[in-house]
Amino acid sequence: MKTLLFIPLLFVCSMVIGQSNKIIGKPIRIGKLEVAQYDIPNRMYWDNAFYACEDLGDGWRLPTKNELNLMYLNKDKIGGFAKDYYWSSSEYSSGQFWKQNFDHGYQSNGYTNYVNVRAVRSF
């Protein structure tokens, strides 16, 4: 069973590593936060999203719940967001993480959904 879960993770990691420059693009700065110019190409479960952001290297990661809200408030300046949910790194409860809808700003929790991902890093 562990092998079956590991194979999709390897696929996601190899896909992201090969596309890191296409995802990061020209990062947009909001305060002390840099936001990748583009989403990671595929919607994914939280654990895959966490590793996909880390695999971009150089401090890239999932945004916190508050950073995600800051991104939502600046979505027109940043650009390129889907009108759908994005993962944060903030845990709601054991195994559940906050996400935010970039159409209406609503934050909720979950763990079983394929959700969009945008990487950030602090500078």
**For residues 113 and 77, what is the distance between their CA atoms, to the nearest angstrom?**
27
pLDDT value, residue 123: 87
Nearest one of 9, 67, 83 to 35, comparing CA atoms: 67
Please state the φ and ψ torsions of residue 41, each to the nearest 5 degrees.
-55, -35
Whether residue 24 is predicted with pLDDT greater than 90 in this model: the reply is yes
Query: Tens digits of per-residue pLDDT, 87-122?
Result: 999 999 988 999 999 999 999 998 768 999 999 999
Q: What are phi and psi for residue 66, nearest 5 degrees?
A: -70, -40
Task: Work out the average pLDDT over 17-23.
Answer: 74
**pLDDT at res. 83:** 96
CATH number belonging to domain 2-122 = 3.10.100
The residue written with tokens 């889907």 in the block is 82
What is the percent of the chain with per-residue pLDDT over 70, rounded to a whole number?
84
Domain boundaries, the chain: 2-122
How confident is the model over 38-59, as a mean pLDDT?
Answer: 96
Residue 64 has pLDDT above 70, yes or no: yes
Crossing angle between the packed helical segments 46-54 and 2-24, to the nearest 10 degrees: 50
pLDDT for the residue numbered 18: 55
